[in-house]
Amino acid sequence: MIIGERIYLRAFELEDYKTLTKWRNDRDITKSLGGNYFFVSSEREKKWIENSIFNDEHNLRLAICLNENNEYIGNVNLTNLDWINRNAEFSIFIGEKKYWGKGYATESTKLILDFGFSQRNLYRIYLTVLEDNKSAIHIYNKLGFKTEGVLRKSLFKDNKYHNLIIMSILKEEFENCNYEL
């Protein structure tokens, strides 16, 4: 478990698939994600969670929970873990929309970056984000991610091709950020 000031990050439990199914069918959440929409049934999500728990060496996927009441509110991930180049891909969502704008994504991002660099010896953590996802880009800039470039019109979604911004942060940049964890 990774414990922060207001939230903690924990491994998935099998029962989490119920909550995840609800979030993955919520268009307000999926429309901002930098991937295509796919159909999710609770059976599929159950298998996905089982796979994440028992059979997934290349990805670290964690549940974000509130310290005050243990409520599970979102997911944060380091995926495509590459142990030769010491790279990983970051992603996040806060599934409980009533908790948007309260700083929980910011805190979760700091915690998983710290874990990735100081416990998994990663060197570069990168992400892609839809160009119009202003709040996510704001968080990433604030925490020290640098823009590497634009993947032009690389995502087809809602009948449009979208630009994805690719950003990354290096271990030394994270260490020089000096913000509170």
Instruction: Return the number of the residue (34 or 144) whose C-beta is nearest ligand COA.
Output: 34
**47 vs 142 by CB, closer to ligand COA:** 142
Which uninterrupted H or E stretch holds 120?
Answer: none
Sheet containing 87-94, strands listed edge to edge, beginning at the edge strand earlier in sequence: 2-3, 7-10, 60-66, 72-82, 87-94, 124-130, 160-170, 146-157
Closest to ligand COA by CB, 52 vs 91, is 91
Q: CB 120 → ligand COA: shortest distance, Å?
A: 21
147: left (phi over 0), alpha (psi -120 to 50) or beta: beta
Q: What angle do CA 103, 91, 124 make, to 5 degrees?
A: 105
- Which backbone phi and psi does 79 adopt, to 5 degrees? -115, 175
Binding site for ligand COA (CB under 6 A): 29, 32-34, 92-94, 100-106, 129, 133-136, 138-139, 142
How far apart are CB 88 and ligand COA at their closest, in Å? 15
Q: Which is nearer to ligand COA, 23 or 48 (CB)?
A: 23
The minimum distance between CB 122 and ligand COA, in angstroms, equals 18
